[in-house]
């Protein structure tokens, strides 16, 4: 006990998300409640086309959401390819707390959500539908390159970088938790699942060590069990910064040609509250909120 609470999250939209988490932490609340409340902000944001309700759809026009949540004690829950439910992180938490399972997908995840009282609704916004129709004109999908809808060159201070939100928090009692939520890659194949709902890929938390989360091309993160790797490196004594750098370099070394054109970023915190971040491409930013400063936003270091 007796820790200084702190919450960190990916990208510029992490700043308002952190504030919602901070409202929980500042009252002495639980890290798990904080990260859930925090990531619900971008999930609800109609201007955010890569998380939640207003997320861009898959190739066939379905908005399909991925989310995971993990507590420092090893409890975790996730949903993947969930359609028609606006707050996948809440469903992920229900999977964790009210089922013997860790991950529910697709129709089964939706059925569970409805049984739990979540409203089924149409998520595709008029704006997202318009963007999808634009994309259909060429139907060009290049997952390895910086996506047409995400400009990784615009980082901290940039106008419209939109991406997965990954959030990690430590509360006043020293408990750690993390959450990650996304609509995945725009125009993906139907059924495609990224790293965000895969425990150990897009999110991993161990209360004795720290937590990590990722953003970018999920396939690369899954291949390398990214967030688990970051946490294991911290367990072996690396700082969060060193651990994020080593995990990114693992990805780059394995596929150096491909890595030139794609983005992966890691964000990590250890149980002392030290923070690290590293990405392949420049433009990744992360937000830090603690008792000293509530709206900090920092550019991550990167390979390129």
Q: Which of 196/302 has CB closer to ligand SD4?
A: 196
User: Is 125 annotated as belonging to a binding site?
Assistant: no
Q: Which of 200/273 has CB closer to ligand SD4?
A: 200
User: Is 218 annotated as belonging to a binding site?
Assistant: yes
CB of 292 to ligand SD4, least distance (A): 29
The footprint of ligand SD4 (CB under 6 A) covers 150, 163-164, 182, 184-185, 194-196, 215-218
User: Is 182 annotated as belonging to a binding site?
Assistant: no
Burial of 122 (0-12, 13-18, 19+ CB in 10 A): exposed
CB of 67 to ligand SD4, least distance (A): 11
Report the distance separating Cα 264 and Cα 304, nearest Å.
12
CB of 224 to ligand SD4, least distance (A): 13
CB of 219 to ligand SD4, least distance (A): 7
Q: Which of 11/22 has CB closer to ligand SD4?
A: 11
User: Is 193 annotated as belonging to a binding site?
Assistant: yes
164 is catalytic: yes
User: Is 51 annotated as belonging to a binding site?
Assistant: no
CB of 130 to ligand SD4, least distance (A): 21
Q: Which of 84/218 has CB closer to ligand SD4?
A: 218
Task: Write the secondary structure of the chain as one string of H (helix), E (strand) and C (coil).
Answer: CCCCCEEEEECCCHHHHHHHHHHHHCCCCCHHHHHHHHHHHHHHCCCCCCCHHHCCCCCCCCCCEEEEEEECCCCEEEEEEECCCCCHHHHHHHHHHHCCCCEEEHHHHHHHHHHCCCCCCCCCCHHHHHHHHHHHCCCCCCCCCCCCCCCCCCCCCCCCCCCCEEEEEECCCCCEEEEEEECCCCCCCCCCCCCCCCECCCEEEECCCEEEEEEECHHHHHHCCHHHHHHHHHHCCCCHHHHHHHHHHHHHHHCHHHHCCCCEEEEEEECCCCEEEEECCCCCEEEEEECCCCCEEEECEECC
User: Is 217 annotated as belonging to a binding site?
Assistant: yes
Q: Which of 10, 99, 138, 164 is catalytic?
A: 164
Q: Which of 45/195 has CB closer to ligand SD4?
A: 195
Residues flagged as binding site: 192-195, 215-218
Which residues are part of the catalytic machinery? 164
């Amino acid at each position: 006990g007796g820790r200084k609470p702190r919450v960190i999250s990916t990208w510029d939209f992490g700043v308002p998300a952190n504030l919602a988490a901070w409202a929980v932490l500042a009252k002495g609340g639980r890290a798990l409640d904080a990260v859930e409340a925090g990531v619900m902000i971008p999930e609800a944001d109609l201007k955010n086309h890569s998380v939640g309700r207003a997320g861009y759809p898959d190739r066939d026009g379905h908005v399909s959401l991925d989310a995971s949540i993990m507590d420092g004690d090893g409890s975790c829950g996730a949903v993947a390819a969930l359609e028609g439910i606006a707050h996948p992180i809440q469903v992920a938490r229900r999977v964790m707390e009210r089922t013997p399972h860790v991950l529910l997908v697709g129709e089964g995840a939706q059925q569970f959500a409805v049984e739990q009282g979540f409203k089924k609704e149409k998520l595709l916004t008029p704006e997202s539908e318009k963007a999808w129709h634009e994309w259909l004109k060429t139907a060009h999908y290049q997952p390895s390159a910086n996506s047409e809808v995400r400009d990784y060159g615009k980082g901290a201070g940039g106008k419209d970088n939109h991406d997965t939100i990954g959030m990690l928090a430590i509360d006043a009692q020293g408990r750690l938790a993390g959450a990650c939520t996304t609509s995945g890659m725009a125009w993906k194949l139907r059924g495609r699942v990224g790293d965000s709902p895969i425990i150990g890929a897009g999110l991993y938390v161990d209360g004795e060590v720290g937590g990590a989360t990722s953003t970018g091309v999920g396939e690369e993160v899954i291949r390398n069990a990214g967030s688990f790797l970051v946490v294991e490196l911290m367990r072996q004594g690396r700082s969060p910064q060193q651990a994020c750098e080593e995990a990114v370099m693992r990805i780059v070394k394995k596929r150096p040609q491909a890595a030139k054109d794609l983005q992966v970023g890691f964000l990590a915190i250890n149980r002392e509250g030290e923070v690290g971040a590293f990405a392949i491409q420049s433009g990744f930013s992360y937000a830090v909120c603690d008792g000293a400063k509530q709206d900090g936003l920092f550019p991550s270091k990167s390979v390129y």
